[in-house]
Amino acid sequence: MTERSVVHATFAIDRIYEAKPARVFKAFSDPDIRDRWFVRPHNWPVAEYSYDFRVGGQEKGRFSPNGTMIVLNETTYWDIVPDARIIFAYAMYIDGKRISVSVATVEFKPAPNGTRLIYTEQGAFLDGYDIPAQREEGCRDLYERLAEELARMPADA
Amino acid sequence: MTERSVVHATFAIDRIYEAKPARVFKAFSDPDIRDRWFVRPHNWPVAEYSYDFRVGGQEKGRFSPNGTMIVLNETTYWDIVPDARIIFAYAMYIDGKRISVSVATVEFKPAPNGTRLIYTEQGAFLDGYDIPAQREEGCRDLYERLAEELARMPADA
């Protein structure tokens, strides 16, 4: 039997994007834009993907970073305030083992040069399969991809 | 427009029950038992209630503590390890306003005199409608009701 353990941790990523809140929010709400920076930034083979961005809607992505290991992400959206806030809960699985359950808050605040985005993840990391520092590193990478995406998108009018 | 704000907080309730883990777990998995200590401990009028205790299953409860204010709880179960662990995400609403979104972990660990139960809630408290200290107080009260329920249940064989 697996040794059961839980590590609870909270981390935050707080950064400025040079784009208005409506444009940063759109990079989450528009499936095509989000696909580029969130779903396929590293060109991992995607076996399955669905996205239903509304309160109560679900997202499911099954990927294989190296062609053998299977990573599954299941997300439910709990709170959406256009241009201001998104809250979702999500679980991650590796090869069928549930490795974490988290609640994540994304806040979009107007800033002098664009938007201050604060991503806060409160997670339960399970049975030694993942550690908070690794998750935080993965999220920081995604928010760097978002910066690249915003640089490619048409500028604010 | 409502002023949007989020307070993130984590709290834990850590206590011993004089009952084996299987019996404490059953107070969550058995709808009749759970109804007594969790759903109706204070005899609030219950307008709507459903409970589907399985991974991916949902729970929904609509109550009115004072006959006018409407409290709604929506829960999704993310992880269930029989006799050992339950993880769920839940949102609370008062009069239609979403006041929090949380992930909660319940761990059941064998202890010399029964079970050590650790309840850890990681919550996002929204727009000033609720505060973590109040939520913690409400949860402590429920876990006191669980102690009373276990005292009423047949003892371990």
Give pLDDT tens digits along chain B (157 positions).
467 999 999 999 999 999 999 999 999 999 999 999 998 887 888 888 999 999 999 999 999 888 889 999 999 999 999 999 999 999 999 999 999 999 999 999 999 989 999 999 999 999 998 889 999 999 999 999 999 999 987 765 4
Of B28, B35, B87, B31, give the one whose Cα is nearest residue B56. Answer: B87
The more confidently predicted of residues A90 and A63 is A90
User: Cβ of B79 and A85 within 8 Å?
Assistant: no
The more confidently predicted of residues A68 and B53 is B53
Rounded to the nearest angstrom, the minimum Cα separation between B91 and chain A is 7
- Its domain, for residue A49, covers 6-152
Query: What is the residue-averaged pLDDT of chain A?
Result: 93
Return the pLDDT at B73: 95
Residue in chain B nearest A3 by alpha carbon: B84
Question: What are the pLDDT digits (tens) for A38-64?
Answer: 988 878 888 889 999 999 999 999 988
Evaluate whether residue A29 is within a structural domain: yes
User: Cβ of A101 and B98 within 8 Å?
Assistant: no
Evaluate whether residue B1 is within a structural domain: no
Rounded to the nearest angstrom, the minimum Cα separation between B104 and chain A is 9
Evaluate whether residue B157 is within a structural domain: no
What would the mean pLDDT of A76-87 be, rounded to a whole number?
98
Number of structural domains chain B divides into: 1
The more confidently predicted of residues B47 and A1 is B47
Q: Report the distance separating Cα A78 and Cα B75, nearest Å.
A: 10
- In the chain, the amino acid numbered B33 is I
- In the chain, the amino acid numbered B73 is N
Evaluate whether residue A50 is within a structural domain: yes
Evaluate whether residue A1 is within a structural domain: no
Interface-testing mutation among B2, B3, B6, B77, with chain A (most A C-beta atoms within 10 A): B6
Contacts of A122 in chain B (CB under 8 A): 8, 10, 103, 122-124
Flag whether pLDDT at A96 surpasses 90. yes
Name the burial class of residue A84, with classes exposed (0-12), middle (13-18) and buried (19+) by CB atoms within 10 angstroms of its CB: middle
Choose the closest CB to B122 out of A10, A87, A98: A10
Choose the closest CB to A4 out of B81, B102, B123: B81
Strands in B18-139 per DSSP E: 46-51, 58-63, 71-81, 85-94, 97-111, 114-126
Evaluate whether residue A21 is within a structural domain: yes
Evaluate whether residue A91 is within a structural domain: yes
What would the mean pLDDT of A103-122 be, rounded to a whole number?
97
What Cα–Cα distance (Å) separates residue B137 from each residue in B13, B70, B141, B143, B144? Answer: 10, 19, 6, 10, 11
Evaluate whether residue B126 is within a structural domain: yes
- Both structure tokens of B18: 């004089």
Residue in chain A nearest B109 by alpha carbon: A4
Rg of chain B on CA atoms, in Å: 16
Return the pLDDT at B156: 59
Angle between helical axes of B132-152 and B21-29 (0-180°, round to 10):
110
CATH (domain of A23): 3.30.530.20
- In the chain, the amino acid numbered A30 is D
Rounded to the nearest angstrom, the minimum Cα separation between A140 and chain B is 19
Contacts of B98 in chain A (CB under 8 A): 78-79
